[in-house]
Each structure stands twice: as C-alpha cells, then as structure tokens.
Amino acid sequence: MKRILVAALLAVGALPALTQAQDASQAMAMVAKNDDWTIDKVSPAGREEVLVVMHSARDCGYCRAWNESPTAGRSQLEPWLKNHPNVRLVIIEREKIAKPEIAENYPVELAWLWNDKQLSTEKRATRPPVPAFEVIVGKTMLFRDVGTDGWEETVFPKLKALESRRKV
C-alpha cells in the first residue's frame, strides 16, 4: 500500500524532493521513517544533546534558500537555538545533488553518524534527497523529513515539542 501511495504522490508531484531519491524503495523508506513518530515519545534528559542534521548540496536552490532566507529556515532556527543550548544544528553538505554523500562530508566529531549501524547504507540513502532534516538524540535518529515544507510544517514544530518535554 505504501509503495502505491509513494508512487502516486511522486506522479502528481506532491513529494518533489523525494524524486531525487535513488529509487522508489529509498523514497518508501523515508516515508516509512516518518510513520514512526518516535520523536513524539521521547523526553531528552538534562544536558543531553539534540542534533538537527540538515543534508544539503551546494547546487541545491532549496537548501540555499533555507540557509539564506531572512524569514524562514535557518533564520527561524538560530534565534531559537540561543535559548536551547543543548540543541545543535549540523549541516552535511555534499558537492552536488547528483553526487553521493561521503564520509568527508561529516564533521570529525560526528564520524559515528556516518558509521553508525542504525544509519547503515541499507537504511540511509547515500544520496538522500535535499534538503533533508534528521533529529537525533544521543545516537538515535528520532525523526526524518524532507524539503523546506517538511521543515516548517513538521520538523521545527516537533523539535520545539521535543525540547518542551526536556527533563531538567
């Protein structure tokens, strides 16, 4: 059923960012991950770090808009981050949309993210759609969504809700 849903959404252009996925099974995996809603059940403890990982590409206009717009995306997140010191934005930027992510795209302190079994190649597209956003607590990915609409309508609101449940 999900395969039909994804195919139908791709056909009508409802999920434009997913068209960059290498194949329908990767697009399905991304939709399936969003069905998880694990983020709604977690409460970070004390100073436990929450990572907001953005997958980007230098030639992605949507990524550039998210990073540079004075009214959306990063410009909304950064003031909020000042009041939430345990949340950190990490941008994984590859050279081109058509090229795969490589280990060198990841900061040294996040090499585990590239190597982590949870995000192994069969679960993580080597060429994820961009922009793609992941929310990670500890070393567990809680949520993933794609596109600037996904950021504004889902990821950022869920991130705010996650932080509101933080146990001090």
Band (127; pLDDT cuts 50, 70, 90): confident
Reply yes or no on whether the pLDDT at 24 is more than 60.
no
- When pLDDT is averaged across residues 110-121 and rounded to a whole number, the result is 68
In whole numbers, what is the pLDDT of the chain averaged over residues?
77
Reply yes or no on whether the pLDDT at 89 is more than 50.
yes
Reply yes or no on whether the pLDDT at 14 is more than 70.
no
* Class in CATH terms, 2-164: alpha beta
- Residue spans per domain, the chain: 2-164
Packed helices 74-82 and 61-68: angle between N→C axes, nearest 10 degrees: 40
Reply yes or no on whether the pLDDT at 110 is more than 90.
no
Reply yes or no on whether the pLDDT at 163 is more than 80.
yes
- 24 vs 144, more confident: 144
Q: Residues for the chain: how many in total?
A: 168
Contact (CB, 8 A) for 16 and 147: yes
Q: In what order do the strands lie in the sheet with 50-57?
A: 87-94, 50-57, 132-137, 140-146
- What does 90-132 look like in DSSP terms, one character per residue? EEEEES-TTSPP-GGGS-GGGHHHHH-GGG-TTTS-SS--SSE
Residues 40-52: tens digit of each pLDDT:
888 898 999 999 9
Reply yes or no on whether the pLDDT at 29 is more than 60.
no
Q: What was the pLDDT predicted at 38? A: 73
